[in-house]
Structure 1
């Protein structure tokens, strides 16, 4: 027999025993896997590749099939080699087609994998960029505006179209919105905050200022005002402050505190005039000393803006020389961590860990226990800005101690004390109570006569009054019409407060979770009092109010701005007339109406008037407006007593009325039937009376018998 043909690579042979002990060969087809075919081809092609390249002896002993990467290497080589290489390696047409198909599949899979990796890389990069730019949890703080924000619409025009007295009495001036100084305030704070994650700073701010939106900060955003009538959560006077709380104070409190302080100082400067500041700056003056209590230096930055404006005017007129104006700045920062932050951008500033203590006997007449009859030297200031210092004290005697301390630190020859609190009923009551105490206990009345006669003056109980007056916002020096009764009032709806719009820095916007809104508005209640200078003898009270109603539009004499009514609410603008709620120099809240027929100029300016302005152009009519003040404890007690007295009177009247009805009934004429009925009723009453008397007699006799029986028994 001839030799059997060689088996095909995918054929197998089995030996099967049949009958008779004979073995039979059975051929079958072996299924081939692509991996096995690749390994087999790789092993068989080693020698061929070596012979073609002349490097068969340098092939490693392991061979291509000995490594895990051999199939991938071979497929990559097949994909890179020209087709004639596959034909040379393949031993048959079938192997050549299989190798070509494998090479094409590998090339396609490699291409798809590369494209998928590129797409994933691009998507990851875009996600990372978007997270850095848009996410709240970004590691980097947002950059500040370099060129300033873009405002919607032009600023209000206070040009020649407005009356001069309207411009002089404006509370906000030409621009309703103020921008915070970037070089002196915004950029330094932003740089200090970059070393801490924004998420941690916001958490600390919300923890100290009442939660999301910071309702217990200087600014209370819309939607967070209801029910939040507490004091500010974190102040510069707090002794213990962590590192993150120091950042939270700068980021969550100081921007709004600057805006409110700037608005108040701007109004004080307008009402007192430029001479108040320039007189101590020009001709080598020592300048003014300023103390900031509570805002951590935000009030000092606002004061610098006012002071630098006056300094530039003096330099233009040749009355002053130097780069910076003279003066002293002092800020109270109780925490070391906060002081270390503030001193990096508050230049030439003295920091105190607490307010200096006042001297108890410093203002008393007669001999002093600690210094005889000579006053001891003490530190004093021209301007004191006290921010949120009264509402945080719940007891009245502590508030009185804070006021005494501030007043003793104020210079006697014209020092100005500014007190501000949050704009809600409790904050207004704290400011109004301080104003009431100063006017009634510290200052002389406008008449100049002391309230206590010299022979009745007792240095133990009385304070020697001195000249002084309220600079702003009040134009009256009497009882506040919104604080007639002292103390806490429940149900109060009307209270004196004002507002100031400002541009929020980006870091402050992040604290409020306002990603796109950088327009803020802080509301506040305040009072500014000057010590040692009495108000000039100008028309006051009812006379000033009547003169202001007539208007100064065509007057030859310039009005004193501190004798004009002030708008305490936004004006109501209707077709053909404007209604304004004002606080008059007489000490009343009135509603003034300026129709179009009254005056063309007055009507034009009235439609452009804003909350807080002084009004000098008169009105056609005015009526007293009812003020919703709520009820204090004393008012509640008086009301309860009145109700009880009225109830007793009503009862007495009812009893008296019943007696009168009985008398009138007896005096009326009676008919026969009524006479008979009355006679029968009288007989019944007589019988009942006789029966009662007989029963009493029987009962008495029975008792006597019982007593006699008891006597006999005892005997």
Structure 2
């Protein structure tokens, strides 16, 4: 029941203070003269089906909300202020359409400012306080059973009733929809009611209109759910029939192009491609990722419906660098050469306004989900399903624990899609029981407003304001008064998604501290750390710095790889190295061929990054300003590392490169996918041959050429390959490819000093003053614009005029001196004559 305290108010028509009582057992509004002394405000019963009032006192016309008819023609200032304050208390920061008069709305704006939006039913608690415990309607062909659970409770199971012999066939979709509409009307009639207390007739009419809107929306939602359920059942039936047809055409045969490789040939894609080509793909089929509607798109859209999208778009552009959102996880095509910084609104930001939290949901989460999903699918392919299924099957284990540090909850949604798929496979085999996989989910969110929004669709999730710091925390054992005999176990995570954490830190030692902290949180027995950054040179350098630090300070060298020299060890960060390996995208454990010199490089053109196509939701396209284009791309640099497990194949990199160049098309042994070269650029398709730019297990960037004469199957697969795929079918020729890594360390715009003359400084005494002149000094080279050229021209003209004036003055001075000299000579001659 929605309870609001009323005030004394007389009926405008009969000057009596009426009392309308409401109860859940009776639907009739009762009026008793004896209750007049017990009432201080009119009580109005708002029911799900109807509104019962004293028609002599209150009018319920539909136009009351548009232009209230019960507003007195002349109101005193006290009455106007009272109505405005009651409206603020009832509807908070919203206001129903046409609720206030012109004078009242002017006072409302002066006191509280303009309302955020029109009042919705949930703003006055109608969905929350409505009695929703009505009987659930079942379709005519559905039944229910109660299944006993392990804990002693019961679970309701819905099943479909089979048709008996002689009965009619299943009704058509139109007949089912008509039956569904009748069921919806029956459910609407059986719905119970809610109670609300109104202070005046105007509030009653506003509540009545909101209840009608809620009823209409609920009816439409129930109809959509029934139609969606029918469509889903038809799709499942169609998929089942198609699977039965495909099972009939399955046959086992020996592939003539691959002797020694026994496989199951299918009609379709698997029959046209080599199995190793399919296993080495980076993108799935189809290439475009569809965002989950139920668990991701719909909850965000419902949260954004409370505010107009134009306000959310303005806030998103202010937070993510302007139109196109260049500082969001996805960078638009025309703004990749701009400011190469991190994301504009990270989820661990401590303070966010309401509109900034909405802008984060609309502009950050969709591309972040696409990039994390792409990386998680690649990690799952390279590690195999056993990495997840073994942990799910352990009875003593509570499932897998995951930490989303930087993706703002998008990483947890992407992880749930993969985890549920593995859980369904195990449940079909009968190895596990239950509907939901066990596990622990944690996300880093610094803002309370963002946390309140995320927890509406991230269920059973722990929210932390910052990363736990186990690196600098002591053991709670022994000397502490509140410590026990044994140290408390520290939390560890099987999967850590570190998205956009390192690029925002400018100093290397800050990045080192974050990496140390993440490594202490990672499970020592097979935990996986994923680092994702934006796809530009600075983002790649942040990921490459993490990779280089892990290989040199954290992980043991692989077989055949050289370790770090003793003189390069940093005693401040030196630790005991342990087993581990890089899962993706690198297939080598040496120095990255695109990151030979640590630090920022000026003019870097070649760097390692990948892309993922995804379907844009409607609200995200409106954030970008292009509602017609529903296809988007996100580019990112990443690295995935597993702790505690060495790579299965310990062959040296040069040997793995030679075998991959020879190809596994006719090989008797299956290759390890983590020892194959990876395409770092899209393939170059020419007539009769295909050129692939690959990063080899030896740690080099090479260009492999696959002509049609080398192998028809390899040529076909090379033409159909994509950027990021692993290549197992070899090539005919290869050459080293030069990598444009820039001009060394970026010194802030100064020119490099290599090959230049040494700088010299001459010190001299000029007029008793010490002066210094520098020789061979660098000159600033700046391109001059039109205004600068005009300024230089004016300066040259003024200098020329000054020079001309000085020449004229010098000539005039010479003439004056000559005249004085002549006058002096004449006077001297006159004096001589006088003598």
Name the TM tier (shorter chain): 0.5 to 0.7
Residue in structure 2 matched with residue 237 of structure 1 by the alignment = 348
Residue in structure 2 matched with residue 180 of structure 1 by the alignment = 291
Mark the CA change 1:425 to 1:204 in structure 2 (over 3 Å): closer, same or farther. Answer: same
Measure, in 1, the Cα distance between the counterparts of 2:294 and 2:119. 20
Among residues 404, 422, 433, which one is paired with 1:310 in the alignment? Answer: 422
Measure, in 1, the Cα distance between the counterparts of 2:561 and 2:689. 44
Residues 463-513 of structure 1, C-alpha deviations (whole Å, 9 max, x = no match): 111111110000001110000000000100000000000000000010000
Residues 267-305 of structure 1, C-alpha deviations (whole Å, 9 max, x = no match): 001001111000001253421100001111100000011
Measure, in 2, the Cα distance between the counterparts of 1:179 and 1:640. 51
Measure, in 2, the Cα distance between the counterparts of 1:215 and 1:457. 39
SS of 1:323's equivalent?
coil
Residues 551-590 of structure 1 mapped to structure 2, 5 A cutoff: 551-590=663-702
Whether the 8 Å CA contact 2:274–2:717 is kept in 1: the answer is yes
Residue 632 (structure 1) aligned with residue 735 (structure 2):
no
Whether the 8 Å CA contact 1:538–1:560 is kept in 2: the answer is no
Whether the 8 Å CA contact 2:560–2:652 is kept in 1: the answer is no
Mark the CA change 1:638 to 1:440 in structure 2 (over 3 Å): closer, same or farther. Answer: farther
Residue in structure 2 matched with residue 493 of structure 1 by the alignment = 605
1:398 offset after TM fit, Å? 1.2
Among residues 281, 303, 314, which one is paired with 1:170 in the alignment? Answer: 281
Residue in structure 2 matched with residue 506 of structure 1 by the alignment = 618
Residues 326-380 of structure 1, C-alpha deviations (whole Å, 9 max, x = no match): 11000011100000000000111111111101323889xxx99x99999763221
Residues 82-93 of structure 1 mapped to structure 2, 5 A cutoff: none
Instruction: Work out the number of aligned pairs and report it.
Output: 499
1:457 offset after TM fit, Å? 9.3
Whether the 8 Å CA contact 1:358–1:404 is kept in 2: the answer is no
Residue in structure 1 matched with residue 328 of structure 2 by the alignment = 217
Measure, in 2, the Cα distance between the counterparts of 1:457 and 1:222. 41
- Give unpaired runs (5+ residues) of structure 2: 1-116, 121-219, 233-266, 761-835
Among residues 527, 533, 537, which one is paired with 1:415 in the alignment? Answer: 527
Mark the CA change 1:362 to 1:427 in structure 2 (over 3 Å): closer, same or farther. Answer: farther
Measure, in 1, the Cα distance between the counterparts of 2:561 and 2:655. 21
1:515 offset after TM fit, Å? 1.4
Residues 472-483 of structure 1 mapped to structure 2, 5 A cutoff: 472-483=584-595
Mark the CA change 1:453 to 1:205 in structure 2 (over 3 Å): closer, same or farther. Answer: closer
Whether the 8 Å CA contact 1:467–1:532 is kept in 2: the answer is yes
Residue in structure 2 matched with residue 133 of structure 1 by the alignment = none
Under a length normalisation based on structure 2, what TM-score does the superposition of the two structures give? Answer: 0.56
Q: Greater CA deviation, 530-539 or 349-358?
A: 530-539
Residues 67-466 of structure 1 mapped to structure 2, 5 A cutoff: 158-284=269-395, 285-360=397-472, 377-447=489-559, 451=563, 462-466=574-578
Whether the 8 Å CA contact 1:220–1:522 is kept in 2: the answer is yes
1:214 offset after TM fit, Å? 0.3
Residue 617 (structure 1) aligned with residue 713 (structure 2):
no
Q: Based on CA coordinates, which of the two structures has the bigger radius of gyration?
A: 1
Mark the CA change 1:274 to 1:396 in structure 2 (over 3 Å): closer, same or farther. Answer: same
SS of 2:612's equivalent?
strand
Residues 575-617 of structure 1, C-alpha deviations (whole Å, 9 max, x = no match): 0000000000000000000000000110000000000000000
Residues 202-228 of structure 1, C-alpha deviations (whole Å, 9 max, x = no match): 010000000011010011122222313
Residue in structure 1 matched with residue 33 of structure 2 by the alignment = none
1:247 offset after TM fit, Å? 0.4
SS of 1:223's equivalent?
helix
Mark the CA change 1:361 to 1:251 in structure 2 (over 3 Å): closer, same or farther. Answer: closer
Higher relative contact order (CA 8 A, sep 6+): 1
Measure, in 2, the Cα distance between the counterparts of 1:299 and 1:438. 23
Mark the CA change 1:429 to 1:450 in structure 2 (over 3 Å): closer, same or farther. Answer: closer
Measure, in 2, the Cα distance between the counterparts of 1:244 and 1:540. 54
Residues 87-133 of structure 1, C-alpha deviations (whole Å, 9 max, x = no match): xxxxxxxxxxxxxxxxxxxxxxxxxxxxxxxxxxxxxxxxxxxxxxx
Residues 239-264 of structure 1, C-alpha deviations (whole Å, 9 max, x = no match): 10011000000000100000000000
Whether the 8 Å CA contact 2:559–2:651 is kept in 1: the answer is no
Under a length normalisation based on structure 1, what TM-score does the superposition of the two structures give? Answer: 0.65
Whether the 8 Å CA contact 2:403–2:493 is kept in 1: the answer is yes
RMSD over equivalenced CA pairs, Å: 3.4
SS of 1:166's equivalent?
helix
SS of 1:554's equivalent?
coil
Q: Greater CA deviation, 235-244 or 628-637?
A: 628-637
Measure, in 2, the Cα distance between the counterparts of 1:461 and 1:300. 32
SS of 2:548's equivalent?
helix
More helix by share: 1
SS of 2:284's equivalent?
coil
1:452 offset after TM fit, Å? 7.6
